[in-house]
A and B are shown apart, each in its own frame.
Chain A
Amino acid sequence: MPDFSIDTQSLKRCTLITLQGRIDSSKAPVLEARLKELMAEGAYRFVIDMSQVDFASSAFLRVLISTSKAARRFNRGDIYLAGVQPRIREVLDLAGLLPLFKLFDTQTEAVGNW
């Protein structure tokens, strides 16, 4: 598994972002910058595939919160999370974020819900 990578794919109904590796506090700003770029280009409907992410710190949670706030403004979009591994789910839970995000088992399901 690489240290960390971001793959972006524009689909008909949303933008699919596939993350791979470990999102520690030094990598989260890279993801934040990419999401800001996409929003500047007019993309606000996201699916983030987390199935290949085995570590995520609070810096990632901050990116999720700030990006979701921006994406949801004017009802123009949201972030759906797909394939979140159990330990990352626990981190989301202890930060009280589980009720605030739509989680799907697979990216296909998440994309289909847009």
Chain B
Amino acid sequence: MIEPIQTIALPNSMDALAIGVGAISGALHARRRHMDVMGILVVAFCAALGGGVIRDILLASGPPVFLTSSVFLIYAFVGATIGWLFSRYASRATMLMEVIDGLFIGVWVLVGATKALSNGLGFGSAILVAVITATGGGVLRDLFCGEQVSLLLPGQWLAAAALVGALTFTTVFWTSGDLFLAEILCIVVASTIRMVSAAFDVRTPMPMDLSRVLSRSKA
């Protein structure tokens, strides 16, 4: 067992940027479904803060971060308001928001993994918690809109990028024991996969039915 590691704390400006962008994209999603003001607020908050809430509930380490430090709520509220009142302008910046989103997916994986490890969980559980932290917001958003969860549908690498990032982090940290190196590699790998997938429309692999292939080769 390794010694407990420090949970990394992001600088405030990065927190604000990541949460604000998450809230704006959540608010735009709600607007496209013609929701009212409350709907936009709820969906934006879920998209921005949902992953962290699920993580903190799973780790059972007291009230979730967004309740103990109000700044997160304010960031999400500002983002939701921008998405609500200025959706026309905000939706023109979709490209920019996706890039920011892609850059931050590795960061969320990292925060989830380190927090799980510092709570004394093993590597396998840390991977699970990391992926949930990075993708939980989107799942909550889809559930609250009453849609199929887009995470489970075939498409671009989103949860898969988070999974690969989490695997990278734990593998590097396990083998080398160098936390800093693991953090850097995790962010680089996850963001690169996400960006490349978005830029060249790389799809996630679909299930292959090997039984058909096997029975044909036998015949």
A binds B: no
